[in-house]
Chains A and B, each alone.
Chain A
Amino acid sequence: MSSVSIRKIRKSFAGLTVLDSVDMEIAPGEFIVILGPSGCGKSTLLNVIAGLDDCESGQIVIDAVDVSGLEPSQRGLAMVFQSYALFPAMTVRRNLSFGMEVAGTPKPTIVQKVDWVAKLLQIEALLDRKPGQLSGGQRQRVAIGRALVRSSSICLFDEPLSNLDAKLRAETRVELKQLHETLKSTMIYVTHDQIEAMTMADRVAVMHKGRVEQFAPPQSIYEKPASLFVAGFVGSPAMNLLEGSLDGAGRFLVGQRSIGSSAYPFEDPSTAGEAVLGIRCEDIDVVEPGSPDSIPAKLAFTELLGADALGWFDCLGKRMSVRLGVDAARSMRKEVGLRFDMAKASFFSASTERRL
Chain B
Amino acid sequence: MTVVFFFGIVAVFFYGSIVWTGYMSLTRSTLMPNYNFVGFDQYIKLFTNHRWLVSCLNMVIFGVLYIVGTLAFGTLLAVFADRRIRAESLFRTIFLYPLAVSLIVTGLSWRWVLDPVNGLQGLVRGMGWENFTFDWLTDPDRAIYTLVIAGIWHSAGLIMVIILAGLRGVDEDLWKAIRMEGIPLWRAYLQVIFPGMRPVVASCVVLLMSDVIRGYDLVIAMTKGGPGIATEMPAKFAVDYYFARVNLGLASAASIAMLVLSLLLLAPYFYSEFRRRT
Interface residues of A (CB under 8 A from B): 47, 50-52, 71-74, 77-79, 81-90, 98-99, 102-103, 146, 150, 158
| Residue from A50, A73, A85, A90 in contact with B182 in the complex, judged by beta carbons closer than 8 Å | A73
- Check B277 for interface membership: any CB of A closer than 8 A: no
The reply to whether B173 and A83 form a contact with Cβ atoms under 8 Å apart is: yes
Minimum CB–CB distance from A76 to chain B (whole Å) comes to 11
- The CA-CA distance from A84 to B176 in the complex, in Å, is 11
- The CA-CA distance from A224 to B205 in the complex, in Å, is 63
- Check B183 for interface membership: any CB of A closer than 8 A: yes
Total chain B interface residues with beta-carbon distance under 8 A: 17
Chain A proximity mask over B170-186: 1 for CB below 8 Å, otherwise 0 = 01011011011111100
Tell me which residues from 188 to 204 in chain B have a Cβ below 8 Å from any Cβ of chain A: 191-192, 195-196, 198
The reply to whether B179 and A52 form a contact with Cβ atoms under 8 Å apart is: yes
The reply to whether B182 and A88 form a contact with Cβ atoms under 8 Å apart is: no
Minimum CB–CB distance from B37 to chain A (whole Å) comes to 52
The reply to whether A81 and B177 form a contact with Cβ atoms under 8 Å apart is: yes
Q: If the complex has contacts A79-B176, A81-B176, are A74 and B191 also in contact, measured as CB distance less than 8 A?
A: no
Looking at B174, B181, B196, the one whose CB has the most chain A CB atoms below 10 A away is B181
- Check B168 for interface membership: any CB of A closer than 8 A: no
Contacts of B187 in A (CB 8 A): 102
- The CA-CA distance from A71 to B179 in the complex, in Å, is 8
The reply to whether B192 and A89 form a contact with Cβ atoms under 8 Å apart is: yes
The reply to whether B195 and A74 form a contact with Cβ atoms under 8 Å apart is: no
Contacts of A89 in B (CB 8 A): 191-192, 195-196, 198
- The CA-CA distance from A190 to B237 in the complex, in Å, is 66
Tell me which residues from 26 to 73 in chain B have a Cβ below 8 Å from any Cβ of chain A: none
- The CA-CA distance from A146 to B177 in the complex, in Å, is 10
The reply to whether B180 and A79 form a contact with Cβ atoms under 8 Å apart is: yes
Chain A proximity mask over B160-173: 1 for CB below 8 Å, otherwise 0 = 00000000000101
Contacts of B195 in A (CB 8 A): 88-90
The reply to whether A98 and B181 form a contact with Cβ atoms under 8 Å apart is: yes
The reply to whether B177 and A79 form a contact with Cβ atoms under 8 Å apart is: yes
The reply to whether B176 and A52 form a contact with Cβ atoms under 8 Å apart is: yes
The reply to whether A102 and B180 form a contact with Cβ atoms under 8 Å apart is: no
Minimum CB–CB distance from B212 to chain A (whole Å) comes to 27
The reply to whether A83 and B171 form a contact with Cβ atoms under 8 Å apart is: yes
Task: List, sorted by A's number, 15 A–B pairs whose CB atoms are closer than 8 Å.
Answer: A50-B176, A52-B176, A71-B179, A73-B180, A79-B176, A85-B174, A85-B177, A87-B191, A87-B196, A88-B192, A88-B195, A89-B198, A90-B192, A102-B183, A150-B181
Minimum CB–CB distance from A45 to chain B (whole Å) comes to 14
- The CA-CA distance from A102 to B182 in the complex, in Å, is 8
Contacts of B182 in A (CB 8 A): 71-74, 99, 102-103
The reply to whether B173 and A85 form a contact with Cβ atoms under 8 Å apart is: yes
The reply to whether A98 and B171 form a contact with Cβ atoms under 8 Å apart is: no
Closest B residue, CB atoms, query A87: B192
- The CA-CA distance from A87 to B176 in the complex, in Å, is 12
Minimum CB–CB distance from A178 to chain B (whole Å) comes to 24
The reply to whether A99 and B196 form a contact with Cβ atoms under 8 Å apart is: no
- The CA-CA distance from A47 to B175 in the complex, in Å, is 12
| Residue from B171, B180, B192, B196 in contact with A50 in the complex, judged by beta carbons closer than 8 Å | B180
- The CA-CA distance from A90 to B188 in the complex, in Å, is 12
Q: If the complex has contacts A88-B196, A89-B195, are A81 and B173 also in contact, measured as CB distance less than 8 A?
A: yes
Minimum CB–CB distance from B180 to chain A (whole Å) comes to 5
The reply to whether B171 and A85 form a contact with Cβ atoms under 8 Å apart is: yes
Minimum CB–CB distance from B196 to chain A (whole Å) comes to 4
Contacts of A103 in B (CB 8 A): 182
- The CA-CA distance from A119 to B174 in the complex, in Å, is 25
- The CA-CA distance from A72 to B192 in the complex, in Å, is 18
| Residue from B174, B176, B181 in contact with A102 in the complex, judged by beta carbons closer than 8 Å | B181
Closest B residue, CB atoms, query A131: B196
Contacts of B173 in A (CB 8 A): 81-85, 158
Contacts of B174 in A (CB 8 A): 83, 85, 87-88
- The CA-CA distance from A89 to B190 in the complex, in Å, is 11
Minimum CB–CB distance from A320 to chain B (whole Å) comes to 42
Minimum CB–CB distance from B260 to chain A (whole Å) comes to 32
Minimum CB–CB distance from B277 to chain A (whole Å) comes to 14
- The CA-CA distance from A117 to B184 in the complex, in Å, is 24
| Residue from B176, B179, B191, B196 in contact with A98 in the complex, judged by beta carbons closer than 8 Å | B191
Minimum CB–CB distance from B7 to chain A (whole Å) comes to 37
Minimum CB–CB distance from B57 to chain A (whole Å) comes to 34
